[in-house]
A and B are shown apart, each in its own frame.
Chain A
Amino acid sequence: AQSVTQLDSQVPVFEEAPVELRCNYSSSVSVYLFWYVQYPNQGLQLLLKYLSGSTLVKGINGFEAEFNKSQTSFHLRKPSVHISDTAEYFCAVSDNQGAQKLVFGQGTRLTINP
């Protein structure tokens, strides 16, 4: 079974500052990793995914994440945030065994201050 831990429940940052949202996972098999963003009262939108290959993954809205197998981490970063990035961010993992069930972290609320 897999599990995901998002190390920060809330992250406040100033506009145009860099941000890192941390995600650690555990699994006994190879995994696929995802970051989703959720704006208030909406569903989840995919930011980026890691399936295989290059460990640095670039996504939408200027976000990127790095897969680190030895540290079982998949941290999300953005070099300069904007007010519109205020949202909740979810890290998720699925195994590669076929059912594609996602296991989600608890979420990190990113708040951008002007």
Chain B
Amino acid sequence: DGGITQSPKYLFRKEGQNVTLSCEQNLNHDAMYWYRQDPGQGLRLIYYSQIVNDFQKGDIAEGYSVSREKKESFPLTVTSAQKNPTAFYLCASSRQGIDNQPQHFGDGTRLSIL
């Protein structure tokens, strides 16, 4: 079955450590997205990519970095510069085109600070 796989499901970070969240999709979608979810705040866009080797900052990109070397993969690195990283992180993907296609979501990674 096609879908989006996020790993790991739970992740713990020590102070001053960078961690990388994985997102892989086999839907052949061009666009991929990373969101951060905090209680009572909905989802906020961190980064998005519409094509391989290109990505743009979203609303809360500070303290995060991404890469898009393959169509299927869009890993997110939470750097030590992100002072409040505890959150639920969701990856999504969508087709591109003139008919706005809905985004499909993975099951998320919950990041906590040790």
Contacts and interface: CB of A to CB of B under 8 A. Distances in A.
Interface in B15-59: 31, 33, 35, 40-45, 48, 50, 56, 58
A37 to B, nearest CB: 11
A39 to B, nearest CB: 10
A91 to B, nearest CB: 9
Q: Is the interface of B mostly helix, strand, loop or mixed?
A: strand
Interface of A: 4, 9, 32, 34, 36, 41-46, 49, 51, 90, 94, 96, 99-107
A43 B108 contact: yes
B42 A101 contact: no
A57 B83 CA distance: 42
Interface of B: 4, 6, 31, 33, 35, 40-45, 48, 50, 56, 58, 90, 92, 94, 96, 99-108, 110
Contacts, number: 62
B103 A102 contact: yes
23 contacts: A32-B100, A34-B102, A41-B107, A41-B108, A42-B107, A43-B90, A43-B92, A43-B105, A43-B106, A44-B43, A49-B102, A51-B100, A90-B42, A94-B100, A99-B50, A99-B56, A100-B31, A101-B33, A101-B45, A102-B43, A104-B35, A104-B44, A107-B40
Contacts of B40: 9, 106-107
Contacts of A106: 40-42
A100 B51 CA distance: 13
Instruction: Give the most central of A49, A51, A96, A102: most B CB within 10 Å.
Output: A102
B105 to A, nearest CB: 3
Nearest to B9: A41
A43 B90 CA distance: 7
Contacts of B58: 101
